[in-house]
Chains A and B, each alone.
Chain A
């Protein structure tokens, strides 16, 4: 049985040898830059921590919210590496579980923004004219509306929860993507290969899908990566203001807020969650910068040297 699997794997490796080599070369060229290396490592750690939170956290049940009144507001020490909070919960455990919330928020908001932003941007940019005008004015409408205000309105209507905060962020986030995609498409659609494709009689939607979209993706990939960091920050901000996660959930922003009342006497309470936010944002930003460099054709020569 295992022999059969081995054979299959080998066959697959043989068939995809050149592609795998390309990926390997691409990865190695990314790995060479120390900042990129740091970004990749931080990113790997964040994802690892998020997946294995229950096994990594020293006190998993406290991480999820169980109080531990005997050890309230303990300073960092061997029992609690990052100290404990007002309810005696281990802050390290809570930060570890908070990674899940942060990454979840980042992925959901950016995925929603991409899902709406890419099609609208493509249509606006490619067809231009009236439909472009309509789509862009709608994005203006959304951009004119402050995210914070919208979050407050949504929280007031639907109640305070993580999901509602994410809805508020998503609704205010997608127009940026529409704009970026539209602007890229405007230049891509004038390229020779798009004209050549038209001259060969390829239909509009196929040109959009196979010629315009794949060639417009680079700036969006960069923006999406950096935005995941920004979303973590924004979500923490909403939580800090009491517009996000419900009290008791291990949300980094919420923990910073809870600790702010004790900041003069119990520094660790706010400091470590704040550090977690910083690391999360930094990881995505480093990765975004690396991708920007990697995807920029002008940098390509440097990349292969």
Chain B
């Protein structure tokens, strides 16, 4: 399709560990269109962050890509690593979970921002300073001059995340990957940062992939969402569809586990069983040992993502006729 910015196709990735080979990603597939906010939701260890790092080309040394393609604007990033020198930080950027530790502690914000701006855009000092002020205003930091003259430890988490966002958008990227951008922040700041990202998405036509385990963030922010479980994509669709009419048993179980004030005093519902250890994952659909609708075929073969209706895909044998 023409307006697809990024597509990840059948990505298989292993990690070499001392205990053995962990099969971390098992055929991850999704596509992100220009201008949308795409959510990736899943538990810890479901492969969300690893997927983001593979898109950025920042995988640790012990990661091995077994197969698949990551296509950004028609070019396969896995085929030609040299593309990264051109696009990383310029066309695709990323912000991280712990804003306070994402800034270099030994330099002032000003030095770090000017460095980035000079590095990518080649601005002279005065010009770069003006631009940095401009960016900080764009991310709604009050008193940008004082922020520029501060060391990172003098900033609060929310301020640091705004600085990170300002640095990330300094090169007018096409895609911003936000890996749990608000997990380390308190609730009010969280809302402010999310609103900021939303506004940047609208004003700069910035495509955003937001990774989180918080369904609240997903429902507030995203146009589309992919549900990850143990390195497999369970379900992809528009946010309303996924949250209101989930198809996949895992998504259903996940939504059921959101606490409700009405349950005060009762024990919380949960999904029985444990997240699988990826060194020896369940065969077939990796959710099958915990699934209440399990069938024999579930542990034999991995279900394909099937389009239920326009843009709503689910990987479950229940959708397959004649099984």
- A residues bordering B, Cβ < 8 Å? 128-129, 191-193, 195-203, 206, 210-211, 214-215
Contacts and interface: CB of A to CB of B under 8 A. Distances in A.
B116 A199 contact: no
Interface stretch (B70-78, B98-106, B281-289): B98-106
Contacts of A214: 104, 106-107
19 contacts: A195-B58, A195-B102, A196-B103, A199-B56, A199-B96, A200-B89, A200-B116, A200-B167, A200-B168, A201-B85, A201-B88, A201-B93, A201-B119, A201-B120, A206-B115, A210-B115, A214-B106, A214-B107, A215-B104
Contact of A196 (B102, B106, B120): B102
Interface residues of B, number: 28
A193 B89 contact: no
A211 B89 contact: no
A192 B106 contact: no
B101 A199 contact: no
B104 A201 contact: no
Contact of A198 (B58, B104, B115, B116): B58
B132 interface: no
In this complex, which of A128, A129, A195, A203 has the most chain B Cβ atoms within 10 angstroms of its Cβ? Answer: A195
In this complex, which of A191, A200, A215 has the most chain B Cβ atoms within 10 angstroms of its Cβ? Answer: A200
B98 A192 contact: yes
B56 A192 contact: no
A196 B113 CA distance: 13
Given A203-B119, A211-B104, A214-B107, 12 more contacts: A129-B61, A192-B96, A193-B101, A193-B103, A193-B104, A195-B58, A195-B96, A199-B93, A200-B89, A200-B168, A201-B93, A206-B115
B192 to A, nearest CB: 20
Contacts of B120: 201
Contacts of A203: 119
Contacts of B106: 214-215
Contacts of B238: none
A197 B119 contact: no
A203 B88 CA distance: 10
Nearest to B111: A210
A197 B104 contact: yes
Interface string B270-292: 00000000000000000000000
Contacts of A210: 104, 107, 115
Contact of A199 (B94, B97, B98, B119): B94
